[in-house]
Amino acid sequence: MSNLPTVEQAGQAQAYMLEQIHIPAFFEKLAANGIEPRNEAEAQQLLQLGAVLGEAREQGQIKSASEAENPLLSSLLNDFAPQDPAPGVDEFVKENADKLVANSELARNAALIYGHAAMGGDLEQEQSAE
């Protein structure tokens, strides 16, 4: 009998972490910078945009406006981007995520399985019958 999580458990853990940790953190950071969706459709668009930009950053495809030397982008960034990040947002998000994991066995298990899978840990293909 293996103690490895299954592929299904890893998927469930990922869904849980997205819904309970990552998505709320994403909207907290947006709100700290004055961006709040007006409705569910706009919230979904912001999530999609965040995912696309996150993937592009991971792939090394995003450059800052100053690197690209695009005057329009530079102007927009100067006008709309906060000069300093909102104080304490990252600490607030981390603190709340830590509290959730500390106070919920489900959250703790999801975080452990999610971390294991995200780091490339081995997964069982199917739940073993006991």
Specify whether 76 is located in the same domain as 103: no
Q: Please state the domain count of the chain.
A: 2
Q: Is the pLDDT of residue 115 over 80?
A: yes
Is 90 part of a structural domain of the chain?
yes
pTM, to two decimals: 0.59
Containing domain of residue 59, as a range? 39-81
pLDDT in tens, 2-41: 788 999 999 999 999 888 888 988 898 888 888 889 999 9
pLDDT in tens, 38-83: 999 999 998 888 888 878 777 776 655 445 556 766 676 677 666 5
Q: Given pLDDT bands bounded at 50, 70 and 90, which one contains residue 116? A: confident
Specify whether 44 is located in the same domain as 77: yes
Is 4 part of a structural domain of the chain?
yes
Specify whether 44 is located in the same domain as 21: no
Residues 54-76 as b/e (b if ≥16 CB within 10 A, e otherwise) read eeeeeeeeeeebeeeeeeeeeee
For the chain, count helices (H), then strands (E): 7, 0
Is 115 part of a structural domain of the chain?
yes
As a three-state string, the secondary structure of 71-127 is HHHHHHHHHHCCCCCCCCHHHHHHHHHHHHHHHCHHHHHHHHHHHHHHCCCCCECCC
